[in-house]
């Protein structure tokens, strides 16, 4: 890890902090299957306790209730998705257009492949009064930042941040349609083509024009 001065430094994690992370991670991991099977409303803390194999006092040592567990699960899911999007975009061909396309394809595939769990998470994340709402806003900002970095690094062009927010909203909207419609592989392919067309026209109009001529 780097300090503000830019030099490397080693950050040690004490045994107590490590044990806490392991315990929290185990509860969050166990909750995924519970929320997927029962849905948020029907899930009780007791169901999570049974799945994680822990006592009630252990649960409340780390979480105030099932809402906190769901929020932690959302952070894990979106964090992993963001890592994959960044990796895919970075490893794409030197073409910025293909790099952005690859990252957005990963986003759509992730939502379809994990549909049962994502339905529960997204249903709550899109509510402004949800404990997941802040995490959703952070995730959207980070995804927009990744798109901006790819475009800047490979084309040198700068765009209004709101443009990336609009693209993320379009991507999120398509993923929601796929989640709740029981999407087929053909539907996913169509969604990818639509997003490709959108980013072609919005972020890379010159390339889109050249391709159509």
Cα end-to-end distance, the chain, whole Å: 48
Residues 88 and 188 grouped into a single domain: yes
Question: According to the model, what pLDDT value does residue 195 have?
Answer: 94
Residues 24 and 87 grouped into a single domain: no
Question: According to the model, what pLDDT value does residue 89 have?
Answer: 81
Question: According to the model, what pLDDT value does residue 11 have?
Answer: 37
Question: According to the model, what pLDDT value does residue 15 have?
Answer: 52
Residues 85 and 174 grouped into a single domain: yes
Question: According to the model, what pLDDT value does residue 10 have?
Answer: 41
Residue 65: what are its φ and ψ, rounded to 5°?
180, -175
Residue 135 lies in domain: 66-212
| Dihedral sign (CA 83, 154, 91, 178) | positive
With a cut of 70, list the residues of the chain below it in pLDDT. Answer: 1-18, 92-94, 206-213
Residues 33 and 99 grouped into a single domain: no
Residue with tokens 């790819």: 150
How far apart, in whole angstroms, are the C-alpha atoms of residue 76 and residue 92?
24
């Amino acid at each position: 890890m780097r300090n503000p001065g830019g030099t490397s430094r080693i950050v040690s994690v004490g045994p107590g902090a490590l044990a806490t992370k392991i315990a929290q991670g185990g509860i969050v991991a166990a909750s995924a299957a519970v929320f997927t099977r029962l849905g948020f409303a029907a899930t009780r803390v007791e169901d999570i306790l049974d799945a994680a194999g822990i006592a009630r006092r252990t649960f409340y040592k780390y979480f105030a209730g099932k809402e906190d567990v769901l929020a932690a699960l959302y952070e894990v899911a979106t964090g992993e998705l963001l890592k994959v999007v960044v990796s895919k975009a970075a490893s794409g061909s030197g073409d910025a257009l293909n790099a952005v396309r690859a990252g957005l394809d990963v986003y759509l595939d992730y939502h379809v492949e994990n549909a049962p769990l994502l339905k529960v998470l997204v249903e709550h994340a899109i509510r402004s009064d949800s404990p997941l709402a802040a995490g959703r806003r952070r995730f959207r900002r980070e995804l927009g930042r990744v798109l901006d970095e790819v475009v800047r690094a490979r084309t040198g062009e700068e765009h209004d941040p709101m443009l990336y927010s609009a693209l993320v909203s379009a991507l999120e909207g398509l993923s929601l349609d796929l989640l709740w419609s029981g999407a087929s592989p053909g539907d996913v392919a169509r969604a990818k083509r639509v997003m490709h067309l959108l980013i072609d026209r919005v972020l890379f109009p010159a390339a889109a024009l050249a391709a159509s001529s």
